[in-house]
Amino acid sequence: MACLGVSVAEGLATGIAIGKAMRTTPETAGEPQRQRKSLLLASVADMEAASTGNLAQLTVSAAKQAQFSESLADLDSDGCAELFEEWSRQLLVTSSAARLAGAQLFKHWTEIDPERAMKNLLALPFSDSRTGLEWSRVAAEGWAAAAANDPEALVKSLPQLQAFPNLSAKSLLISSLFRGIEAADFAETVRKASALRSALPAALTESVGIADDNAAIAAILERWFPPHYYDQGSAFDHPRDPLDIYRYATTEIDDPKLRWEAQKLAFEQLAQLDPQVAATTLDDVGAPESAMEKTSLLAKLTAEWGNRDLPSAAKWLLERNPEERSGVLTAMFDDWSLNLDPRQIADFVQWIPASETPPGFAAGAARFWAVDDPDAALDWFESRPESKDPDVAESLLNNLWFGDWDKTLQGIGRLGQFDGLPQEKFDEELNHWVMFLDPDDRQLHKLTTLRDTSNNPGLAASIDRALIKAQVWKDPEAARQALSNSSHLSEEQRSTLLTDIGRMSRFREAPDKTLEWASQLPPDNSASVIGSILPGHLRQTPAEGIPKAMDWLDGLPAEQLGEDYAANVAKSTARATIESTGDPQAAANWAATGAPEPLREAAVGETISHWAQIDPFAAAEWLSSLDPGTVGDEPIVQLVDQIAWDPEHAFAWGATLSSPETRGIKLAEIADRWALYAPDAARSAIEQADLPVETKATLIHSIFENGHE
């Protein structure tokens, strides 16, 4: 079903015409309501045919919104219910026009029949969607806009709200109620909020964190001036004077933290209207207690001002003290929400002398600038002396994104020309761009052309790796063929990609098919690739994976048993046995006697780590039944970590570790925590332990000479 707001736009013209006809034509009893319901419901029926263009027209047209409100005004409760039933099937409201229409419906419904409106509101699902506003939130806005300003509607709504068990829903409705207050200025809003809080049952306001007037003010502040870049305002928001809240906060709010929150909000909004006035106001009122808060605020002011009058903003910034200046420049290019226009950065950086730029400024500015103009931004960055520092170059790549796919191609090509660019980090980011932007065939062809025409072998190899990895998620077999055909990769890069393909293929094909492919690889690659496949197989289908993993481990040559992939498969086998059978002792018995001997310590350690979380006493009893040294120190380390809450037994087990270095580390950890609340017991345990004298002296000195005595 298409968007609610679109359907409203489709039906408005017809609706107003019918509305006028109804007022001038003789009507039989009940006919006006039926016609009005038909009129508004017709807009719902037109959803599938509605166009995005009409939605945009409704969103920007106050006249059309007024026409819709006029058609809605005469609808009775049954008509509201019928219209709501049709619209709420959509569940999500994904446009501002739809939001306004839905909220107006519920505001009108609450005004004429608050009990029925509340009953339908509470029947909606309350969740946390990131793809649009839920109907519950839109309905809450409409209900609150009526109930906050109509005591009778509020009183009739409250019994159902008080009895409703969902606390998050109550919180949404009560906070919406405070934000729905209509008043001429902020002072009047606060007075009404105080009266509203007094009128509400204390148990209800306290349950949602509004226990006093300061909390009520905080609830108002959340939406009093929603930032223009963050669509969280109410459907009924209207322009307000930021200085109104600033004046009230300065003269009337006693709580310092709340006063600063209110003033800060006023500054942020004033910066969007007139940043020069906001900067003067900030200087007049003085700095907040937190230097970090002031830096953040100054950065927002500078960004807003820079978008309007770059020379003035830069001049004002350069007049700040060096510490503030450095902090602002860093913050401006470390926070995407500041909204400095990427096109302005090219001019802005020219106003800031190189001697005034803090560490990280060049990378941050280039990262923002590259969104709009990758070539110019990266040319400028490479001209900076700090670009030769590998750490600075790597910081440039962090969160580097471009405006669209064509700009991404520009950026990739330009980055490939950098000297000393951190190759591993570049590969990581290139993988992100290719996978998350999900280019179509035409765009992939452009990337392939860039690879084939590049004079930089490193760039060609990076593009090849990114393309092949992205292809694994769609077609593992095609990715394997592409790897086989690649002429840009070194043997080491090819080997790493084989392992990546093996590990990632389980998401798109059956493990047996991937294992069959891996078994046909040259011996040098086959073992490592199978070792990357089996852990995923064990998680996905443990009943089939466990015997295969055990057989594979038994067949590994001795020289491969020391590789990390072998230990990883042994640990994964033990873990899968516990999780699939619920029998940790069976896993422990296999790990201690059935696994290849070089892998037993790792396998038993993994088993004890999981077993001790379930039943530490059984795990400790089983471990104590083994001959000392049978499975190494790792199982004991895992047990000690899991029973740290019992320092007496953890210390006793730690003292049995065979490695002096590991033993010293674990005993120091245990005793240090123990000494915080029982120093005498910790000291006694150290003194009585079967440890070398030097170890005891070191432990006592390190723990009891550091404040635990």
Collapsing DSSP states into helix, strand and coil, what is residue 689?
A: coil
Contacts of 93 (CB under 8 A, 6+ apart): 3, 4, 5, 99, 102, 132, 133, 134, 135, 138
Q: Residue 67: its pLDDT value, please? A: 67
The greatest distance separating any two alpha carbons of the chain, rounded to the nearest whole angstrom, comes to 108
Q: Quick check: 61 and 103 in contact, CB under 8 A? A: no
Which pLDDT score is estimated for 703? 78
Residue 276 class from Cβ within 10 Å (0-12 exposed, 13-18 middle, 19+ buried)?
A: middle
Query: Can you tell me the distance from the alpha carbon of 418 to that of 414, in angstroms, rounded to the nearest whole number?
Result: 7
Cα distance between residue 351 and residue 313, in whole Å: 10
Q: For residue 655, which of 612, 691, 699 has the smallest C-alpha distance?
A: 691
Confidence (pLDDT) at 337: 60
As a whole number of angstroms, the distance between CA 699 and CA 685 comes to 11
Tokens of 485: 């055909």
In DSSP terms, 134 is beta-bridged to 92
Pick from 121, 175, 181, 172: nearest CA to 150? 181
How far separated are the first and last CA of the chain, in Å rounded?
Answer: 71
Give the residue among 198, 236, 238 at the shortest CA–CA distance from 215. Answer: 198
Kindly give the residue spans of alpha helices, DSSP state H, lying in 333-440: 342-351, 361-369, 374-383, 390-397, 405-415, 423-437
- 685/646 Cα distance (integer angstroms): 13
What are the DSSP calls for 455-477, one per residue? S-HHHHHHHHHHHHHHHHTT-HH
What DSSP element (H or E) covers 326? helix 322-332
* Environment class of 232 (CB within 10 Å of its CB; exposed 0-12, middle 13-18, buried 19+): exposed
Cα 396 to Cα 398: distance, rounded to the nearest angstrom: 6
Count CB-CB contacts under 10 A for residue 381: 24
- Count CB atoms within 10 A of the CB of residue 275: 24
| Backbone torsions φ then ψ of 556, nearest 5 degrees | -70, 135
For CA atoms 475, 477, 479, 481, the dihedral sign is negative
pLDDT tens per residue across span 377-407: 999 888 888 888 888 888 888 878 888 888 9
Radius of gyration of the chain (CA): 34
Q: How far apart are CA 290 and CA 125, in angstroms?
A: 40
| Polymer length in residues for the chain | 709
Instruction: Answer for the pair 148, 181: CB distance below 8 angstroms, yes or no.
Output: yes
The Cα–Cα gap between 438 and 470 comes to 8
Mean pLDDT, 10 residues at a time, the chain of 709 residues: 31 29 36 47 36 34 63 84 74 61 88 94 69 70 90 92 86 85 84 88 83 81 50 52 79 83 79 80 64 80 84 86 83 68 76 79 86 90 86 85 88 87 88 84 90 90 92 92 92 93 90 93 91 93 94 94 95 95 94 95 96 93 91 94 92 92 90 87 87 85 65
> What single DSSP character describes residue 459?
H
Would the pTM count as exceeding 0.85?
Answer: no
pLDDT of 237 reads 53
Please give the Cα distance from 668 to 634 (Å, whole number).
17
Q: What is the distance between the alpha carbons of residues 303 and 557, in angstroms, rounded to a whole number? A: 63
Beta-bridged to residue 93, according to DSSP, are 133
